[in-house]
């Protein structure tokens, strides 16, 4: 639940917090909040009290909305630079606003504040519109919930598959890319640094191009098309054409980029599963699990962190792709460059459900069966052509159970799958090493996956000589507790 009200930013009727401010006002403007307000006032000195969507019950009091506030400003743009008038939305809550551990643990001033960023969004103002629509605030809350629940942070160039018009209309704008806000500058708060990531609404075809190539490349193309975003990447929910329909030559640039660079997408959360065909599924030594009492198989905290690091580092363009090592010095599944002490999103509330990492041995498998839903399966050609043929890796992390599948090429260091033993499992994490020759063969056989609407489910592919089977299955299969 949220309400719309003027913000409590210091204005003509309220003294700004400071050494001489009354205690009551100082308590209303905690330092983290005040620092972000300061950046907003720099940009909008004539709007000291913008309209604001406020969480009625704050997250730290048990409410459902992680963002305490979303402020909404009117930006006049710059017609001469093809920047239209628009509404500018700014979130408060992904960073540490309070510094008293009510939401984020304070870890010092040198690192990130909270998750290290806030979200922004720029929506084209419609003719005659006197007040900003409030639906973007709920969109931002949805993204914030994902961050808080998964602890996966966003970076510039990331994409979000939303599969629905952002404003619940009939719009073609149904997905998002993220980029640096063109006006908001990083803020140094008493609790760390805060940057500002802007949400950019895109069409399905633009999302797919970002997946197959990279988000930054598509963002640059969007900047060159005024009606598709322009220099400040302003979202127009009434846009009815993709950038490729507006300018067909842009598709050639994407195709050339894919051929030259491959894909920057290093992994996805997906509906997927795998089976070890080397032994009967009822075998107590199932490669995907270690049984401790009646607890289900789980990824250990260190495996989880390595997968996260694999996904995070895979977004960087490295000359030598490396799977980060499982570092015994890391504690609680946390890397040195992340805010510590948040509970691992894959761990149960009961510590007895956490399988000690040392008890899970790496096993080589003879034969495996991979299972994907249709959406995940459609990304296999991207995984093979855009990642493995460029010497990289790609990870599917199950959203319906504790399981992960990482494809690696022979150029990736740090993998526990090898050319001698191409299928290897560490608990429920499977790695598959594919040679370039086999990747080319798979791409030929999986060609129809690029047009999944043309085949019926279930669909099965098999390479008996490699002892590998891949099935594309209906979503309902993955909703079973067995997966």
Phi and psi for 84 in degrees, rounded to 5? -75, 165
Portions of the chain given CATH number 3.30.1360.230: 264-279+361-482
CB neighbour list of residue 128: distance below 8 Å, 6 or more residues apart: none
Candidates 321, 325, 452; CA nearest to 382 is 452
pTM as predicted? 0.76
The 10 Å CB-count burial string (b at 16+, else e) for 60-90 is beeeebbbbbbbbbbbebeeeeebbbbbbbb
Supply angle C-alpha 273, 410, 483, rounded to 5. Answer: 5
How would you classify residue 100: left for phi > 0, otherwise alpha for psi between -120 and 50, otherwise beta? Answer: alpha
Supply angle C-alpha 286, 270, 330, rounded to 5. Answer: 70
8 A C-beta contact, residue 41 and residue 9? yes
Indicate the Cα dihedral angle 24, 30, 31, 32, nearest 10°. -160
CB neighbour list of residue 223: distance below 8 Å, 6 or more residues apart: 229, 230, 231, 233
CB neighbour list of residue 84: distance below 8 Å, 6 or more residues apart: 77, 124, 125, 230, 234
In the chain, what percentage of residues exceed pLDDT 70? Answer: 76
DSSP per residue over 106-120, as a string? ---SSSEEEEEEEEE
- Residues of the chain short of pLDDT 70, as ranges, are 1-2, 5-28, 280-360, 452-454, 480-483
Tell whether the torsion through CA atoms of 177, 180, 184 and 188 is positive or negative.
positive
CA pair distance 442, 434, nearest whole angstrom = 10
CA pair distance 273, 354, nearest whole angstrom = 20
Check residue 316 and give its pLDDT.
Answer: 37
CA pair distance 178, 199, nearest whole angstrom = 5
CB neighbour list of residue 299: distance below 8 Å, 6 or more residues apart: 307, 346, 402, 403, 404, 427, 428, 429
- Beta-strand relationship, 86-92 and 69-75: antiparallel
pLDDT digits (tens, 9 = 90+) for 399-420: 877 899 999 999 888 899 999 9
> For the domain with range 264-279+361-482, which CATH number is right: 3.90.70.10, 3.30.70.120, 3.30.1360.230, 3.20.20.140?
3.30.1360.230
8 A C-beta contact, residue 381 and residue 449? yes
Check residue 20 and give its pLDDT.
Answer: 36
pLDDT digits (tens, 9 = 90+) for 37-93: 999 999 999 999 999 999 999 999 999 999 999 999 999 999 999 899 999 999 999
CA pair distance 50, 137, nearest whole angstrom = 14
């Amino acid at each position: 639940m949220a309400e719309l009200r003027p913000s409590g930013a210091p204005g003509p009727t309220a003294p700004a917090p400071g050494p001489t401010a009354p205690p009551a006002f100082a308590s209303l403007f905690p330092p983290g909040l005040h620092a972000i307000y300061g950046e907003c006032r720099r940009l909008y000195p004539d709007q000291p009290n913008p309209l604001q969507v406020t969480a009625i019950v704050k997250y730290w009091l048990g409410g459902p909305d992680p963002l305490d506030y979303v402020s909404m400003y009117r930006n006049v743009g710059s017609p001469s630079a093809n920047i239209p008038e628009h509404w500018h939305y700014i979130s408060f809550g992904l960073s540490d606003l309070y510094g008293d551990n009510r939401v984020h643990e304070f870890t010092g001033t040198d690192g990130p504040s909270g998750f290290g960023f806030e979200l922004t969004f720029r929506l084209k103002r419609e003719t005659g519109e006197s007040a900003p629509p409030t639906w973007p605030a709920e969109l931002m809350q949805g993204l914030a919930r994902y961050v808080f629940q998964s602890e996966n942070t966003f970076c510039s160039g990331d994409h979000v598959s939303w599969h629905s018009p952002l404003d619940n209309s009939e719009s073609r704008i149904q997905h998002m890319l993220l980029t640096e806000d063109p006006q908001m500058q990083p803020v140094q708060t008493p609790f760390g640094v805060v940057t500002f990531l802007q949400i950019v609404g895109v069409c399905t075809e633009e999302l797919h191009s970002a997946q197959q190539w990279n988000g930054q490349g598509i963002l640059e193309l969007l900047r060159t098309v005024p009606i598709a975003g322009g220099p400040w990447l302003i979202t127009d929910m009434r846009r009815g054409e993709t950038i490729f329909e507006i300018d067909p030559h842009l598709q050639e640039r994407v195709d050339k980029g894919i051929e030259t660079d491959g894909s920057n997408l290093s992994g996805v959360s997906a509906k997927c599963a795998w089976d070890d065909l080397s032994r009967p599924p009822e075998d107590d030594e199932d490669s995907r699990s270690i049984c401790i009492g009646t607890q289900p198989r789980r990824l250990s905290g260190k495996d989880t962190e390595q997968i996260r690091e694999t996904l995070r580092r895979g977004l960087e363009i490295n000359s030598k792709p490396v799977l980060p090592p499982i570092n015994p010095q890391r504690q609680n599944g946390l890397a040195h460059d992340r805010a510590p002490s948040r509970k691992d999103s894959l761990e149960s509330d009961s510590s007895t459900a956490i399988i000690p990492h040392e008890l899970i041995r790496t096993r080589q498998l003879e034969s495996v069966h991979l299972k994907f839903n249709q959406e995940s399966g459609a990304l296999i050609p991207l995984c093979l052509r855009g990642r493995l043929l460029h010497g990289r890796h790609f990870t599917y992390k199950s959203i319906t159970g504790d399981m992960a599948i990482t494809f690696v090429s022979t150029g990736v260091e740090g993998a526990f799958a090898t050319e001698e033993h191409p299928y290897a499992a560490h608990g429920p994490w499977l790695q598959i090493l594919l040679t370039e020759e086999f990747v080319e063969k798979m791409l030929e056989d999986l060609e129809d996956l690029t047009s999944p609407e043309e085949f019926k489910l279930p669909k099965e592919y098999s390479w008996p000589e490699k002892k590998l089977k891949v099935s594309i299955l209906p979503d309902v299969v993955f909703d079973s507790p067995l997966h």
